[in-house]
Amino acid sequence: MSGGSGSRAAARVAIVDDHEAVRLGLRAACEHAGYRVVAETANVPDLIARLDGSRCDVVVLDLSLGDGSSVTDNVRSVLDTGSAVLVHSIADRVAAVREALAAGAAGVIPKASPMAAVIGAIATVAKGEVLNNVEWASAIEADRDFAKAQLGRRERDVLHLYASGLPLKLVALQLGIAHSTAREYLDRIRAKYVEVGRPAPTKVDLLRRAVEDGILPGLDGEAGDARR
């Protein structure tokens, strides 16, 4: 797979993985395919420092880094540099994969994939396209740990407005209910997420659950207010 098209040769790639052997293997394969590897680091803060305000086309990101960082924070930090994120993960980390996709990763390529498939996935993401995640979508759908909380219609309304950034008082006002009633709905929502093994103690956690369950369409626009 040496050489490659002009667009591939021009692509700038970075690699974040806390296993040196994985980083070196990916670097060698990317360079053989004609990519320019601008950085390979063990964590995202080191990557940001190495990029020093510049951007690359694709960051190949492992999900389970040894620094204890969160998947969502890592994906968002990389996206903030203007780079696309391609998740490179093992197949049993379905919950983390779902979180990465919800945070804006362009696709997922399993670590068990042939290197040619990994290079092909980088090419797709480097062109600004979203990688087809059919196999991962199937795995996520079958993952019992991500059972959806069974929320009633009013609970979904409360979650939608609250996770979008509205204070609870304004949620109550917009829905025409008492503030205490809105608080009861919120408590029930949190209890239901605990029951399915997906606790959401903070407003940011509730935003993530709302995105994961399709109650909110994404992590931008008004929903971004809930992160501040």
Question: Residue 145: what pLDDT?
Answer: 54
Q: Classify 57 as helix, strand or coil.
A: coil
Q: Which tens digits make up the pLDDT trace of 5-39? A: 444 446 899 999 999 999 999 999 999 999 999 99
Beta-sheet strand order (sheet of 58-61): 36-41, 12-16, 58-61, 84-89, 107-110
Tokens describing residue 54: 């510049």
Q: Is the entire prediction scored with pTM above 0.75?
A: no
Whole-angstrom Cα distance, residue 204 to residue 128?
A: 28
Please report the domains of the chain, with CATH numbers, ordered by start residue.
6-141 (3.40.50.2300), 147-227 (1.10.10.10)
Give the bridge partners for 40, in sequence order: 15
Q: Crossing angle, helix 44-51 and helix 71-79, to 10 degrees? A: 10
Q: Which residue has the higher pLDDT, 138 or 183?
A: 183
- How confident is residue 43, by pLDDT bands cut at 50, 70 and 90? very high
Q: Which residue has the higher pLDDT, 173 or 132?
A: 173
- In the chain, pLDDT over 90 holds for what percent of residues? 46
Nearest to 122 by CA among 24, 220, 27: 27
Res. 228: pLDDT tops 60: no
Q: Which tens digits make up the pLDDT trace of 117-167? A: 999 999 999 988 777 656 556 555 655 556 677 888 999 999 999 998 899
